[in-house]
Homo-oligomer: A and B are copies of this chain.
């Protein structure tokens, strides 16, 4: 079963708004076996809407449209659909009562322009939007379905989950889709592909493997389509097991997750705590870790020691070491990691110090030079990295590298 998504609104085309609706819809549709084959963003222009809809219907069984349903003049989705389907407008009683209730509740006068919200093309079925005044409209034509929804994310999400997806499942019988994601690190995309060549060569037609690289990690995603869910799941899981067997040294997680979430899970399962000392990453490691709810069981906190004086004052880094070897050095990162372990009284500590650029004041240490340190009760380990990219990229890469370095040593200590 194929679907297309059409998002309507100039704000997306001029980059004022990032379209997060489509990704959310893609994920939900995928989960029920509907494959999104195209997402199209167009402006609030009647011709563009009609052309996009007509071409989408040549490829897909389901077309989901968001946006352009507001009460102001720049919103033309409803009239464009009426024109496309050659339908007159009618007032929908239930929608009108819904609009009136909204204004009563807000204690605001109902304007004529708001009453227009209750007008819909006469041939559509209205799915009541309990979270807003714009109606959700369901059209059927030649066995295909077109749904128009508001673009406001929480209204769209409610309508999709409570009304549209259940109704689509009723109307169409769909195959199952099953995904399995494996997170790897410390190996490049092409090396991983070479390792997995025999797996790829033997993939059945209905299962595909995608490589999704990001900041030193590669996500491997197996996707299968089938009529029997249990068989499909067994088949995909068994291929995943083969992959994990082959790429074992590089596997961080056997589910779709993030590096920072893996770090917290691994720490919590060992009942261990972590602190951080960040110079070039400036708080980004702490930020990534604290994006995960419940991480305080393992992550106690850290120091951002951006300035050398602070490295000495807060973490007790020896002033002579700073003077003799410089802030970006193996000796300094060692002292930072050990000082953090001591100050924050955690089981482990990671430290970063480097040159994020764009300028360096040291000819021998180019932009991208980053030292990472890992300290535990067993001592301190260090590693030197040379990252490329702009400032933000170097900070992101150093953050990933520090978390990966920590995971590597956590697993090593298990042995």
Contacts and interface: CB of A to CB of B under 8 A. Distances in A.
B282 A286 contact: yes
Interface residues of A, number: 107
A359 B40 CA distance: 36
17 contacts: A12-B26, A14-B30, A15-B27, A16-B23, A19-B19, A22-B41, A38-B41, A108-B191, A284-B287, A290-B356, A293-B357, A295-B306, A300-B306, A300-B309, A303-B304, A303-B314, A313-B343
Interface stretch (A78-86, A209-217, A401-409): A209-217
Interface string A278-293: 1011111111011101
Contact of A19 (B23, B290, B302): B23
Interface string A16-46: 1111101111111010000111111111000
B388 A291 contact: no
A48 interface: yes
Q: 10 closest pairs, A vs B, by CB?
A: A282-B290, A283-B286, A15-B27, A283-B283, A15-B26, A39-B41, A286-B304, A15-B23, A300-B307, A283-B287
Interface of A: 10-20, 22-28, 30, 35-43, 48, 52, 55, 70-74, 105-106, 108, 111, 113-114, 131, 152, 154, 158, 179, 188-191, 193-194, 200, 208-213, 221, 223, 256, 276, 278, 280-287, 289-291, 293, 295-296, 299-307, 309-310, 313-314, 343-345, 356-359, 386, 388-393, 395
Contacts of A391: 291, 293
A18 B15 contact: no
